Amino acid sequence: MSFPSFLIDAVIDRAIDAGRIVGAVVLVARDGEVLHRRAAGLADREAGRPMREDALFRLASVTKPITSAAALALMERGRLGLDDPVRRWLPDFRPRLADGREPVLTVRHLMTHTAGLAYGFLEPDGGPYQRAGVSDGMDQPGLSFAENLRRIASVPLAYEPGTAWSYSVATDLLGAVLAEAAGMPLPDLVEELVTGPLGMVDTAFSVRDPARLAVPYGDAPDKVGAPVRMGEPHRVRHGQGHVRCSPARAFDPASFPSGGAGMTGGAGDVLRLLEALRRGGAPVLAPESVRALTTNAIGDLTVTTAAPGWGFGLGVAVLKDPRPSGTPQAAGTWRWGGVYGHSWFVDPAERLTVVSLTNTAVAGMTGAFPDALRNAVYGRA
C-alpha cells in the first residue's frame, strides 16, 4: 500500500476550511516510522495562535487506554486480579439493581464496560446520572472521588453485570480501585507504571506546560456554523443529550483524577503508547497482557457507541468483522477516541498506528472528519 499523504492533507484542509474543526495534530506511523505528521489550523482561534505538533490537549477518553495499561501492569505484579470484586478495594461502593439486589461487580466488568454503569452525557437531558450530579470526569472542578462514587452508587445499575455493554464511568471506578490496590494516588501510579517508563513526559493528570495547551472548542449548538470557544462550564450537543465540559478542571488540583477522562497530553505521547502496545507492550506490559487488552472480551454483546462489527477488549474497541460497517480497517484493529475531539486506531495487520488530536468537540472524535481521515490513510478518497 503506497502512502497517500496528499489525501490525508486534503481531508485535514477540508475540515478546517469548512469550519468543522479549529485545529488538529495528526500522526500516521507504519512499523514505527512516522510517515505523515501534520499540525494544522489554530490552537487559539481568537489569538491567531497556530497549532503546533507539540501542542497539548485535554485528552478526555484517550486517558482510558493509559489507565487500562496501568491496571494490567498492576496485575502482572500480583497486586490486582481481573476477577477481584470491586468491593474488596472500595468496600463502601455497593450499587444495586432496580429490584434492590446487590450484584458482585468485578474489575473485569469495569474494564469491559459491562458493569451496568452509565455516562451522563449519553443520557437524554435530565437522565438519572444528571439528576444525581454524577461527574463524567470532565466537569465539576474540585469534586472528590469519594463524593462522585457516592453519587454513582445512588443510581440503580442498568442491568445485571456482564449481560450487556454500556459505555460508562467504569474506568473512573477502575482508577479508584487501582489507587487502593497500589496504596498510592492514581497519578503517581500511572507515572510509575506507564507514562514514566514510556517517556510520555507531556502526559499527566495536570497540565505540564500551559503555554502549549490548545484552547477547546465545541460544535455550534445547531451543528451549523463555526465551533464555539468553550466557556466555563460548557455544554456540547451529542446524541440525545449534552457533553458537560469544564476546561478549568485541568488546572484544579482538588479535582479527582479521572481514570476515564482526566489526563492532558500530546499526540507524540499517545503514539508512543500505542506503538509500544502494538509491538508487544515492552517496557510496560508483557505480550499476553497486550493480547488481553486488544482481544474481544465481550462475546456477541453490542458495543452501542461503535459501528456494527466491533467488540471490546479490556479497555479498547476491537474490530471483529469489517464487513458490516464497510471500514477499510482489518479485523483485529483496535481503537478509541476522546470527546474533546480525538480519535486513534491501530491496525496490526497493516502495522499502522494513527493518532488524531483536535481541539473541537465532538466533530474531531466522531462523524465526517475522523471517518474521512481513516479512509484517506487507506488511500480511499
DSSP 48: T
Helical H runs in 137-205?
145-153, 170-182, 186-190, 196-198
Is the distance from CB of 367 to CB of 297 less than 8 angstroms?
Answer: no
Using DSSP's 3-state secondary structure scheme, residue 265 falls into strand
Taking the CA atoms of the chain, what radius of gyration do you get in angstroms?
Answer: 19
Burial of 60 (0-12, 13-18, 19+ CB in 10 A): buried
* Candidate list 61, 168, 246, 258, residue with the active-site label: 61
Active site includes 61? yes
CA-closest candidate to residue 313, choices 267, 364, 348: 348
Residue listed under C-alpha cell 445547531: 222
What cell does 192 get? 510509575
- Please report the sign of the dihedral spanned by the C-alpha atoms of residue 257, residue 141, residue 53, residue 39: positive
CA-closest candidate to residue 363, choices 340, 329, 336, 381: 340
Contacts for 294 with CB less than 8 Å, ≥ 6 apart: 277, 313, 316, 318, 332, 334, 346, 348
What cell does 34 get? 512516522
Contacts for 307 with CB less than 8 Å, ≥ 6 apart: 324, 325, 327
Q: What are phi and psi of 34, to 5 degrees?
A: -75, 110
Helical H runs in 40-80?
63-76
Burial of 380 (0-12, 13-18, 19+ CB in 10 A): exposed
Locate the DSSP E strands across 45-133.
49-50, 57-58
**Residues catalogued as catalytic:** 61
